Structure formats: C-alpha cells, structure tokens
Amino acid sequence: MMLCKLSLKNIKKSFKDYAIYFFTLILGVAIFYVFNSLDSQTIMMNVSSSTQEIIKLMTNMLSAVSVFVAFILGFLIIYASRFLIKRRNKEFGIYLTLGMSKRKISMILFFETILIGIISLIVGLGIGTILSQFMSIIVANMFEADLTKFTFIFSYDSCIKTIIYFSIMYLFVMIFNTIVINKCKLIDLLHSSKKSEKIKFKNPIFCTIVFILSVGMLSYAYYMVTAGVDNLKTMNEIFIPIVLGVVSTFFIFWSLSGLIIKIVTHMKKTYYRGLNSFVIRQVSSKINTTVFSMTFICLMLFITICVLSSALSIKNSMTANLVTLSPIDIEVQKKLDLNIDVVNNTWNLTPDMIEDSKLLVRESLNKLDFNVDNYFKDMVEFNTYSTNEVLVKDTLGDYYEKAKTKYPFLRYENAEEFIKLSDYNKAAHLLGLQEFSLKDNEYIIVADYDSWIPIRNQGLKNNTPITLLGKTYYPKYDECQNSFIHISSNHVNIGIFIVPDNALNESIRNENIILANYKETTEEGKEKIENIFYEMDNHPYIKYTNLNISTKLSIYENSVGLGAMVTFIGLYLGIIFLISSAALLALKELSESSDNKQRFKMLRNLGTDEKMINRALFKQIAIFFIFPLILAIIHSIFGIIFCNFMLETFGNEKLLESIIMTAIFLVIIYGGYFIITYLCSKNIIKEK
C-alpha cells in the first residue's frame, strides 16, 4: 500500500496544480447529472399529457446529446491528464532512477486517477443535486407548470448514468496514462524541464503575405455564408466556408504571432517600458507552439456562441409567433379522395381508408361520436384543391430553369394547392387576416415562408399564366401576399393560390378543412374538449381515417416544449463547449506558469516589484484568453447571421436579448476560468 500512500500524498501536494482540473471535472459531472435528471424533475409537475410527450422527447434527445458530451469531456480529461503527467516528468524520472518499475509508476497514476475520480464524482453529484433543484424551477417556468410545493428531487437513474459514463472516461484515462508511461524514456524524463524551446523567427514579409491571404480567405468564407448565401446550393457546399474558416483561423494565429511581435518590438517606447518586452516575448515564444490549441479553442468558442445565441433566440421566437399564427382554437383537416396511384401507395392505403377519404371532416368526426355543432362556434368549412395540371414548376414560368440550378433541392413536381376566393375570405375573416377580391381571370398567391416568397415572386413578376381546368389565369399582384390558412407555430405557408370560385370544381378536391373556436370559453372547458380528442386515439374508427387535428393549445404546448428542448440542448452543449475550451486554456497556462517559475524568480532577483510581476503575469494570461475570444466573436457575428438565415422559419425575435444572455454566460464561465487561472498562476510563481 506504499503506492497508494504515495499517490495520496502526491495529490495533496499538488492540489494547487490540480485545482483547475478538479474544478473542471466537478463541473462536468454536475452538468452531466443536471441535464440527465431533467425527466425526474418534470415528473413532479402537473402538466398536460401533450407536454408530457414533449418532455419525453426532450429527455431522449438530451441523453443522445449526452453521448456526444461524454466524448468531448473524455477528450478533455485525457488531454488534461497528459498535461499533468508532463508536469511531473521529473518526479517519475526520479522514481525510475530509484529502481521503481514502470508498472509501479502506472499503478501510482492508477490510484491517483481512482482517487480523483471518486472525489470528483462525489462532489460533482452533490453540486449537481443542488443545481438541479434550481433547474427544476427553470423547467417549471418554461413549461408554465405551477410549482406550488417544493420537493427535493434526486434522480437515481441520472446518478447511476453519470457514474457509469465517467467511470468509462476515467478508465480510458488510465489506459492512456499507462501507454504514456510505458513509452517514455528516462533521459527525457529527467531533462524535460531543461529543454527550452528554440525561438523560431518568422520572416515578417512572409507572415504579412500569409496574414493577408488568410484574412482574404476568411472574408470570402464570411461572404459565402452571409451576402452570398443564396449561392450555396447543396448541403455539401456548406463545408467550403467551414474549411476555409478553419484553415484561415489557423494561419491568422500563425502569422499574427510573428507580425505582432515584429511591430511591437519596433515600438521602442512601449516595448521597453516596464516588463512589456518580457510579456511580449513570453507570449510570442508560446504562441509559436500554441497556434494549434488557439485555433481549436477559438473554434470551440465560436460554436458555443452560435449554439447558445441561436438556441435562445429560437426559443424566444417560438413563443412570440404563436399569438399571430394561431389566432383560433382549432383546425381539423382531412385529405379527400385518396387514390393509390397519386401517392404511389407510400401510405399503405387499405380499401377502407380509400372509402373513408370520400367523407368530409364533419362526417368523420361524427363517426367518432363528435358532433361539431355541439362544440364549435365561428365555424368555417371549406375545401382546398389541387391537380397535376398545375405543378410548382408551371407557376414559375421562365424562371423555372434558373430556379432549378439555383435551388435544386426544391420539389418542382408537386401539385399546387388552390382555394376558392370566397372560402379564403371567410377563413381570413375568422383568422383576422387580409381579405381579397379577384377579377374572372386573376389569381393571388398567399405565402409567409421567407425562403419561398422570392422564388414565387419571380414567377409573378413575369406575369406567368396558369391553366386550370381549361381556363387561363394571370397574377393580380406581382408579389406574394402575406397570409395563411392553416394555424401553426411558425411561418410555414409556402404558397396557396386564391382563384375565383368558378375556377374550381369538386373533381379535384384536395383537403377538407374546418376552422373554429370552441363554444366553451373557460380554460377548463377548453381542456375538456381537447381531452375528447386525446381519447379518440382509442376509437376503432381512427385507424381508417386520416383526420389531422391541430389545436391552439397543442401548438402552444408543442412550441413551448420544442423551445424548451432547443434551449436545454443549446445550454447543455454550449456550457460543455465553453468549459472544455476554457479548461484547456487554463491548464495550458498553468502548466506553463510552473515552467515560468524560474523566469519570474529571475525578475525578482533583479529587483522587480511584486506588483509589476503580477501585472506582467496578468497581461500574459489575458492575451492568451482574449486572442481566441476576439477572433471567435468576429466569426460569431457572421455565424449568427448564417444561423438566422438557416432558421428563418423560426423567426429571429429578441436576437439581441439572446446575444446578451450568451455574453453573460461567456463572461461568467470564461471569465471565471480566466480569474482562477490567474490566481493559481500567481500562487505557482510565488516565492516560498
């Protein structure tokens, strides 16, 4: 048990150096626990069954994300332990010269890992349990459940899961450590501290060229994802700006390190003031070797910022859209006149279903023992129509060829959907939307999906005629009108054609739709009606019909749930990424601080004030933390613009608010790591 004692003493002795490592592990364990225990936190809440479903989906998603998170944390822990082993090369060298076998050294490390693992798991789970109490308040708030009574929640499942995941990670660390120890040579161990890295001077002209090239490359990547985003045709092309961005980030760090030192050394007044020359050289000597990790950290920060701010903004938009996009209580829709040929029978149609699809919504609901007249008021019933005579490509006119190359992924062979003018106006009146009038040979397109509007507008501008049941119609307006007929949580109407009533007949029916409000006005009454719909799932008839019921309440709960899911996943990933990158930086700085101990001692011997030394240390660490952050922030500006474009359907309400939230997270976590790193480094270089 000598070895066990030795490792215990080692940990005690180097606790200061381990502090950041411990801190990160504990944080990792706590966060892992908190996000995996979300389901047990929500079980206590009094929420409707549809919310229950969403929470289930959310926890499933979170546990899938957890696997990914485990990989990131595992990578971080292995990386961190490599630093710590490096720092102790001399110690291991001494053990080896004393005749200790490599196997025994591996055993020491093995015990240390177990000890650290156990301590971090216990403390982390403790903190996680406390944090999850706060979390349940946030969760309750999000799902708008009332948390009338406080219950202490401890999730055994999540606890066991955390222990298993982290045990696997620690196991990998042990294996890794053993490999490292077995591979090392005694001479390298003993002399590792003496190897001072040679300062390679970079040619400033070459640096300038590389810098200009990489800035150009980066600008082009920025251009591709923002102003030139329309030119990105396929998903694969997204990788071009990504690869450009990664490569140019690396070369910007590489060339800047050479350039900045060149410039600052020529600013004699600044350079030879106080310890400035020392700080600059410290940074530049390290930046040569840390370009890789700087790039990595910069990209991690970039992802963090984008994920966090987009997730928060999606959540905000989802709730904001609801009021205007779901103004009525319920919409029931049903596909009419199903036909095996039309759908190639991908729906597995049975003769019963085909037979049933001749019935209207009202009749189908009757078969489910639900009389619409008893429950609904302000009812609007109408059909939509579609025919293979008018496909998407036919409505674009000359623009079709261009559109096909520009947006190859759109479905040009789909049939367009039509509605009678009078039906539309009735629906629009109920939904509180704009009503229209038409001449005999005119049509209007209503749409609110931002990506489709410009495409359709091209067709409208060309005055593209459509031929419907033998008669030709021309656009009334040269652009789409902003409107919709289906209630939903987002702007998803890609385009519906309003035509004069006599343009359509019942031979080309597509859907039958009922829009209505409930006769009940109280919350309880509405909920009662909704529960009838849930119970319909058990009715034998439901299998044969293709009724599709969306209610304001379910849309609302869905979108709140989806918003919460996005937020939690965003927070989870964002925080883990942030912690990982900050911890990497912190560990790197700390391991270098101990190498720098000698240098700071020298400065002290020369009679440098303690204040001056601390300031120099602060500057040095600050530069390393701020450098990747600045570039990451610049990346993020364009990244967020791109995310906005991708997530257009969700809208981008309160983007500023979510960016501010992200900034707060960044300041707390990244700033926290910075301060801790500074304090620990100060401790390391302190004279005993």
Partner 1 sequence: METILKIDKIEKYYGNKSSLTKALNNISFEVNVGEFVAIMGSSGSGKTTLLNVISTIDRVTSGHIYVADNDITKLKGNSLNKFRREELGFVFQDFNLLDTLTAYENIALALSIQNINPKIIDKKIKEVAASLNIKDVLNKYPYQMSGGQKQRVASARAIITDPKLVLADEPTGALDSKSSKMLLERFNYLNQELKTTILMVTHDAFTASYASRVIFIKDGKIFNEIHKGNDTRKEFFDKIIDVVTLLGGDLNDAL
Q: Are 165 and 32 in contact (CB under 8 A)?
A: yes
Give the closest residue to 416 by CA, choosing from 336, 494, 340. 494
Q: Least separation, in Å, of the C-beta of 266 and partner 1? A: 12
Please state, in angstroms and rounded to a whole number, the distance separating the CA atoms of residues 231 and 289: 38
Nearer to partner 1, 126 or 274 (CB): 274
DSSP string, 227-252: TTGGG--SGGGGHHHHHHHHHHHHHH
State the nearest-atom distance from the C-beta of 606 to partner 1, in Å.
6
Please report how close the Cβ of residue 560 comes to partner 1 at its closest, in angstroms. Answer: 56
Question: How far is 597 from 614, CA to CA, in rounded Å?
Answer: 12
- For residue 385, the SS3 value is strand
Q: How far is the CB of 612 from partner 1 (least distance, A)?
A: 6
Least separation in angstroms between CB 157 and partner 1: 53
Q: Residue 687 Cβ, how far from partner 1 at the closest point, in Å? A: 9
Are the beta carbons of 381 and 512 closer than 8 angstroms? yes
Residue whose tokens read 């007044």: 269
- CA 420/CA 474 separation, integer angstroms: 15
Complete DSSP assignment for 91-105: HHHHHHHTT--HHHH
Q: Which is nearer to partner 1, 284 or 364 (CB)?
A: 284
Is the CB of 52 or the CB of 276 nearer to partner 1? Answer: 276
- Our CB check for partner 1 shows the closer of 355 and 609 to be 609
Q: 547 near 361, Cβ under 8 Å?
A: yes
Of 272 and 477, nearer to partner 1 (C-beta) is: 272
> CB 134 → partner 1: shortest distance, Å?
44
Residue closer to partner 1 by CB (options 150, 201) is 201
Based on CB atoms, which residue is closest to partner 1, 272 or 347?
272
Cβ distance to partner 1 smaller for residue 519 or 604: 604
Least spacing, CB of residue 203 vs partner 1, in Å = 16
CA distances 675 to 72, 102, 590, 624, 680, Å, are 24, 37, 12, 13, 9
Order across the sheet with 496-499: list the strands.
Answer: 466-468, 471-475, 442-446, 496-499, 418-420, 376-385, 509-518, 330-335, 548-551
HSE-up (13 A, CA, CB side) for residue 50: 19
What are the two backbone dihedrals, phi and then psi, of residue 687, each rounded to the nearest 5 degrees? -80, 140
Give dist(CA 198, CA 178) in Å, integer. 30
The CB-of-682 to partner 1 minimum distance in angstroms stands at: 16
Q: Smallest distance from the beta carbon of 199 to partner 1, in angstroms?
A: 6
CA gap 143, 129 in Å, rounded: 21
**With respect to partner 1, which residue has the nearer C-beta, 342 or 603?**
603
Are 582 and 673 in contact by the 8 Å Cβ rule? The answer is: yes
* Minimum separation from the CB atom of position 277 to partner 1 (A): 5
**In this complex, which beta carbon is closest to partner 1, that of residue 12 or of residue 269?**
269
Strands 418-420 and 496-499: parallel
> Which residues does 43 contact at the CB level (< 8 Å), separation at least 6?
none
> What residues make contact with partner 1 under the rule CB under 8 A?
196, 198-199, 268-269, 271-278, 281-282, 284-285, 599, 602-612
Comparison of 89 and 608: residue with beta carbon closer to partner 1: 608
Query: Which one, of 270, 499, 514, 497, lies nearest residue 375 by Cα?
Result: 514
